[in-house]
Chain A
Amino acid sequence: MTKRIDIKNLSVDMCERLLRDLERAKRPVLEATKCTLDNSLYNPKVGYLTPGDKKVQTELNVSSVQKMSRAIFILEILLRNLDVGATNTKREIYYIAKGEIKHNAALKPLDFADQNESDEIIDFICEMLECYREDVNCFANDRGGQTYSQQLVVHETMPDGTKAIIDLSRLGTAPFQPKNRPQDLKLRAKKKIDFCVIVESEGTANTLVNSGFTKRHSCILLGAQGVPSNAVRGWTKLIQDQLDVPCYFFGDLDAYTMQNIFRTLKAGSAGSLIRNSDFSAPEVRFLGVLPEDIKKYDLPDYAVKENDASESRALKKARDALNNDPFFKDKRNKGVADILKWLIVHKRRCEQQAYFSVNPRDPLMPEKIILDKIKNKNFV
């Protein structure tokens, strides 16, 4: 179980510091961890990206006084939410703020012209308090993480103390979907679970379940739906830690998937340095598509379109990553780094769905290949 951040205390501390400086006519400076790659450390024993000691500073001056007073104003709204256990989306916070301003003429100068302006302030607060938006009860839409299993049981304790037990085998064709802050859930296996597969494509995860994957194997299957949301990241971490099952990621062979999807799932991201401990699953392995699979299974692949802006950007980023990203630089992750190198050299890409071409008449072929790869330790 992970520790919950005490937003209330952090906020009081921050405001106390502000006030004390002001009373002494000293310029207050707020400090936050710099969340960028150049401030990221990677220790293979820890397994995820952790912050270095670089800080970003926001000092109070005539230009920042508007932003700061807006931040304190929104913080009050969020603290009120935390007090009563209420939650809101960013958009709702925008309207709540507008409502407050409407009813108090003195606050007029704070008014937000559009939601971007209030979103920016919410992000600023989280940076200052070094917390996730979810910690201040501000939730984004849940995305991804639809989970299927015949063996998994989830125990949930609601904010009001009531408890729920969800047996995933009882949900019929419906998946279980974790929330953006899944750390409070308790997992239990009815029967020993052999492995967990995280499928990059939501649709392909569905196809596998429909054809009986979870019926034939004692496993957990979940869809990532592209770049993993906080829900997917925290949830995978829970499965890894609480059930102690090997986790495999099944996705495309391309630079984007390696860096943005797999790396984030396994070791977190630079943008979320301060929270990677709860939102990364360092034991996840990359099951495929592996470069050697193309030959082995005669998979259709494609040349990277160099004139496609996003594809060439991903390749350029891959070159940077090999030089600067502590995750890819560490020898423990040589396997994934080698794949990146292969991608840069060969400029080819191959999609996870390509396994459906191996035997087009056999719908179970992809399932067979996945199991084969697990059994033969054909992953990195």
Chain B
Amino acid sequence: MAKALQEITSASSAEYFSKNLQQVGFSSYTKALLTTIKEAVDNALDACEEAGILPEVSVVVERLGEAAAKGADKIRVKVEDNGPGLSVDDVVKVFGEYLASSKFGRGRCTRGQQGIGISAVTTWAQLTNARGVVVITKTAKMRQAVQCLVEVDIKHNKGVLKDKKTVEWDRPNGLSCEFVIDARIQLQGEGGVLVYLNGTSLVNPHLTLRYKILDQEWVEMTRVSEELPLIPPATEPHPHTMKLGEFMAHSHLFGRVKVGAWLKKGFSRISDGVLNELAPHGVKKNILEKSVDAATEDDFKNVFSALQKVKLMAPSTKSVLAIGEESLAKSIQRVGAVDFFSVVSRKPTICDFKPVLVETAVARLSDRGEKGEEETVSLLRFANRVPLQFDKAACAMTKAVQSVNWRTYGLNQPKESLPNGPYIIAISVVSPFIKFKNASKETVDASDELVEEIRRAMIQAGQRLSKHIRREEKEADLEMKRRHIEQFGPILVDGCCRIVKAGKGRREKALEGLAKLLGREAHLAEKELKEAVEHSEKALAELQEKTGILPSSEDTEVGATRRVTRRIMEPEQLSLTGMEQPKKAAKKKKR
């Protein structure tokens, strides 16, 4: 860790970012709160995983009063973790300087990528409430925890340390940061804090998350997996994924090396063999021998265009991180009471020359009631395990879901839209090189290849899900049939009897006959239901085999356990009682 931090670089960009905070997640008060929580939680998770610690994170959001600005509240946000902590010097850099990151430019599936996030939050706190961030930190080496205030010196892009003191803290190592910001609290929907927190726990099964939002009670979501995700080694970008500008910028990360050496070191799938192949495409040997500092724009152009013409091996898919079907299966049940679900973890693959892994969990929530049927499903999007909460329309994941015909799996779906119903569709795209549509990292670029890969995952999940939906339809069908027999049989027979002036005897006999007739149909429906139950049970068995768990918990009554035990009437037993009841009412009718 310490070594990594030595590599933290900084550039004089504080002024630029402080004037353009809307670009990095502060374009509205609602978004400001979400961004603040998100940056701090992402960092905590990254730090824990890097240090091999099972993360325990707590989040407190408290309203202090009205803000000076219209339409905003003064809000305190505090995020604590049990990660490795930071030295005080590093705290100052991380929270007080822009572009100070240990992850910069590396092809890893980490949440943070740029070193902008948390310093921007400090700036926002400073701009709206004239105070930076209060940090408590303790590394394993430090004897006591240290508390301090860090502010951004915007002019010089320097962190400023204030009020440093040692404090008692309840943990051997960790970091806590507290901001007071102007913001607005939204709990549900796009930009909802709870949506973010639930989503984060969904794709991080190894996370124990505690939170207290406003006056609500503490909520604890305990980890469902004791395994840290295996963070694959970093991968270098593939030359075919880059634009010329990126290509040139990439050259600055490797010091004063020769162009040839830079190409081999800085990219995946470039070997001496490949370098030799560049000559026929017009790259002179001496360019490869030049130092990257001495190379001109024309040189870069020359090499770049030659590289695009050379056939290169596709990048390795070893660098992507998987949540796994088992963990997803467990995790999906943390988001609420679930009837049934399906999970799909695709094999890592290459889309647009970048390694990608798509995973999905689709679950039906049991507590949404009738109304849930008409609402659009909640689509939860994740890029490198970070929930994406804005601008869903143009996102690759949204497009992929819309392109699937969900009706074949038993869901309602308006034309070219997301399906309807009380479902959660969670999609996780993990890749060391995720391409976002914009700087605020809310929309994954919808390339054809990526959309197709996600679409395949959705189709698999839909097929698995449909087994359970079919079974429910059959249950409902049988129920409808039974109800119809009981409700309408007597009315029909009584009506006929009145019209032909038939007596009691005929009525009884006709009712008996009707019960027999319709009972036979109900019996058929029962048989169909039995078959559907078998299918769905088989699907569940497969799920159990694969993931080791079944969708059930005490209060949710999930999956196959639900309704199976319902009494199945034999056709002979069907009776049309309730026929006597209309008598009194019939008198009234004569009125």
Q: Residues on A close to B: CB < 8 A?
A: 11-12, 15-16, 18-19, 21-27, 60-63, 65-66, 68-69, 72-73, 75-76, 79, 100, 103-107, 109-110
Contacts and interface: CB of A to CB of B under 8 A. Distances in A.
Contacts of A106: 490-491, 581-582, 585-586
A18 B494 CA distance: 12
Contacts of A27: 517
A199 B20 CA distance: 76
Contact of A69 (B492, B500, B581, B588): B492
Majority secondary structure, B binding face: helix
Contact of A72 (B487, B495, B517, B591): B495
A73 B497 CA distance: 11
B506 interface: yes
A76 B506 contact: no
B586 A104 contact: yes
B507 to A, nearest CB: 8
Given A16-B500, A19-B496, A75-B499, 13 more contacts: A12-B500, A15-B496, A19-B497, A19-B506, A22-B511, A23-B506, A23-B510, A62-B480, A65-B488, A68-B488, A76-B498, A104-B589, A106-B581
A76 B495 CA distance: 8
B521 A61 contact: yes
B517 A22 contact: yes
A97 to B, nearest CB: 12
B491 A110 contact: yes
A62 B485 contact: yes
Q: Which of B497, B498, B517, B582 has the most CB of A within 10 A?
A: B517
A130 to B, nearest CB: 17
Contacts of A104: 582, 585-586, 588-589
A76 B500 CA distance: 11
Given A62-B481, A104-B589, A23 B509 contact: yes
B187 interface: no
B584 to A, nearest CB: 9
Given A62-B485, A65-B484, A66-B484, A15 B589 contact: no
A232 to B, nearest CB: 34
A98 to B, nearest CB: 14
A103 B513 contact: no
B493 interface: yes
A60 B495 contact: no
Contacts of A16: 500
A343 B480 CA distance: 52
A23 to B, nearest CB: 5
Nearest to A25: B513
14 contacts: A18-B496, A19-B497, A21-B513, A23-B506, A23-B513, A24-B513, A61-B518, A62-B522, A65-B484, A72-B495, A72-B499, A73-B495, A106-B490, A106-B586
B476 interface: no
A110 B488 CA distance: 8
B516 interface: yes
A68 B490 CA distance: 12
Contact of B499 (A12, A23, A61, A110): A12
A163 to B, nearest CB: 34
A25 B512 contact: yes
Contacts of A66: 484, 487-488
A68 B588 contact: no
B502 interface: yes
A19 B484 contact: no
Which residue of A21, A69, A105 has the most chain B CB atoms within 10 A of its CB atom?
A69
Contact of A65 (B485, B502, B516): B485
B160 interface: no
Contacts of B5: none
A81 B586 CA distance: 19
B533 to A, nearest CB: 20
Nearest to A11: B499
B514 A22 contact: yes
Contacts of B517: 22, 25-27, 60-61
Nearest to B578: A106
A276 B518 CA distance: 38
Contacts of B500: 12, 15-16, 19
B489 A65 contact: yes
Given A22-B514, A62-B521, A104-B586, A109 B509 contact: no
Contacts of B485: 62, 65
A100 B489 CA distance: 18
Contacts of B582: 104-107
